[in-house]
Structure 1
Amino acid sequence: MKERIKVILVDDHAVVRAGFRLLLSVAGHIDVIAEAERGEQACQLYLEKQPNVMVLDLSMPGIGGLESIRRICSRDSDAKILVFSVHDEMVYVNRAMNAGAKGYITKNSAPGILVAAIQRIADGDIYIERGLMKNRPAQNNAASYRTLIDSLSAREFDVFLLLAKGLTVHKVADELCLGYKTVANYGTQIRNKLNVSTVAELAHIAMVLGVMKK
């Protein structure tokens, strides 16, 4: 039996939240413990309810989704936030992931994607909907990624895997028993070697290579 997952839904449209709640109720192991329609409410409810996963829209009144992600993650670096948005442009994905989100799916995705994404994020993984990376340059395929990954040292590869899973530099440093500055330097070297700049791109490479589940 799957462990139950506590979820907070954040969207400024009550009808949308009702649809989310109905969809998640079918999963059988996901409990919607609270709802919010503004970013400020989301931040407060997160602290009060401590959900396993928060499902959050980006376009909301008040401080908005991105600032909500930043505020929540600044208070809890282990926060697991899934963005569920109408925006499918990479600029939104990158901004959300860099703010601290652990996943990104669109409202045009198949119904089962929401449940799958929540489960994956609750399990500690990153989840980016397939197709959102479609605008990456053509040379970024598995073969070229493998060549780039092979250029990483053993320690750089360790750091790469943890960063791709969404761990902060501080968390990676603790996990590998390294200094913060050392990990930060590794992170810069890795991004330069792989020619990327965001967590979303690192996660995409890891998923393409099969070193992190899709």
Structure 2
Amino acid sequence: MKHFLIIDDHVVVRSGIKTLLSDMYKPCTIDEANDGYSAIERLGSTVYDMAMLDIQMPNTDTLALMQKISAEYPHLKVLVFSMSPENIFAQRYLKAGAMGYLNKDSSLEEMQKAIGLVLNGKKYISETLLDILASSAGQITNENPFNKLSPREFEIANLLLSGKTISQISHALQLGVSTVGTHKSRIFEKLRVSNLLEMKDLANSYNLAN
């Protein structure tokens, strides 16, 4: 019997994945977690074959969560299932230990394919991500400066690129306005840009624009 864990803050999404997994694997057990804290609690009490992880959840640093899972539960297979764009997030999560990155807009057939591959210990790479990896292959000698950012800085940089203000980011991440401002200054320093427009141009050159 297979044991699954769905980590997502949206009840409707968890319900849909649960139905899909129940249809694909009979019998199976499926547990749910709506944030990083509840996910760690579940992982501490049950051995799972596979987890499906959303990367945009309140009060959760999901990249740090992915790294923790890889370090403490190395046999757990994780498939990221998110609306967040692959060109911005996929490579970071694969590097952190995820075995696949699946967009929530994917077809039912693609979802079944991804789940089957990951559950069997194989990597799932979408056609979109393959194109991204191919286009970035020529930049090997020109290191992506966004890789210099910490997970939190990268998260804030992405929110800035999406048009969010410092106040909105502060509210979304539950950080002080001054803390977000400090992160923004460090981001600009590491990327060697002086304003948001320059950062957007830099992001475009590395296929990181939303």
- TM-score normalized with structure 2 length: 0.59
| SS in structure 2 of the partner of residue 132 of structure 1 | helix
Specify whether residues 74 and 11 from structure 1 end up closer, same or farther in structure 2 by C-alpha distance, changes over 3 A only.
Answer: same
> Is residue 51 from structure 1 mapped to residue 48 from structure 2 by the alignment?
yes
Q: What is the Cα deviation at residue 78 of structure 1? A: 2.3
**Equivalent residue, structure 1, for 2:34:** 37
- State the one-letter code of the partner of 1:16: V
**Equivalent residue, structure 2, for 1:72:** 69
- State the one-letter code of the partner of 1:119: G
| SS in structure 2 of the partner of residue 134 of structure 1 | helix
| SS in structure 2 of the partner of residue 43 of structure 1 | helix
Contact 2:55 2:80 in 1 (8 A): yes
Q: Normalized per residue, which structure has more helix?
A: 2
**Equivalent residue, structure 2, for 1:62:** 59
Gaps of 5+ in 1: 141-214
**Residues of 2 paired with 1:137 and 1:122: CA distance?**
26
Pairing of 1:79-118 with structure 2 (within 5 A) = 79-118=76-115
Q: What is the Cα deviation at residue 137 of structure 1? A: 4.7
- State the one-letter code of the partner of 2:12: V
Pairing of 1:201-212 with structure 2 (within 5 A) = none
Deviation readout 1:184-209 (Å, 9 max, x if unpaired): xxxxxxxxxxxxxxxxxxxxxxxxxx
**Equivalent residue, structure 2, for 1:125:** 122
**Residues of 2 paired with 1:93 and 1:139: CA distance?**
13
**Residues of 1 paired with 2:61 and 2:116: CA distance?**
25
Q: What is the Cα deviation at residue 128 of structure 1? A: 1.7
- State the one-letter code of the partner of 2:46: K
> Is residue 27 from structure 1 mapped to residue 24 from structure 2 by the alignment?
yes
Pairing of 1:166-181 with structure 2 (within 5 A) = none
Deviation readout 1:128-179 (Å, 9 max, x if unpaired): 2222232345596xxxxxxxxxxxxxxxxxxxxxxxxxxxxxxxxxxxxxxx
**Alignment: residue pair count:** 138
**Residues of 1 paired with 2:66 and 2:96: CA distance?**
6
| SS in structure 2 of the partner of residue 47 of structure 1 | helix
- TM-score normalized with structure 1 length: 0.58
- State the one-letter code of the partner of 1:18: S
| SS in structure 2 of the partner of residue 90 of structure 1 | helix
**Equivalent residue, structure 1, for 2:132:** 135
**Residues of 1 paired with 2:65 and 2:136: CA distance?**
35
**Residues of 2 paired with 1:138 and 1:36: CA distance?**
36
- State the one-letter code of the partner of 1:74: A
Percent identity over paired residues: 30
Deviation readout 1:33-66 (Å, 9 max, x if unpaired): 2100001111221221111000010001122321
Deviation readout 1:58-98 (Å, 9 max, x if unpaired): 00112232121111111122221100011233230011011
- State the one-letter code of the partner of 1:24: L
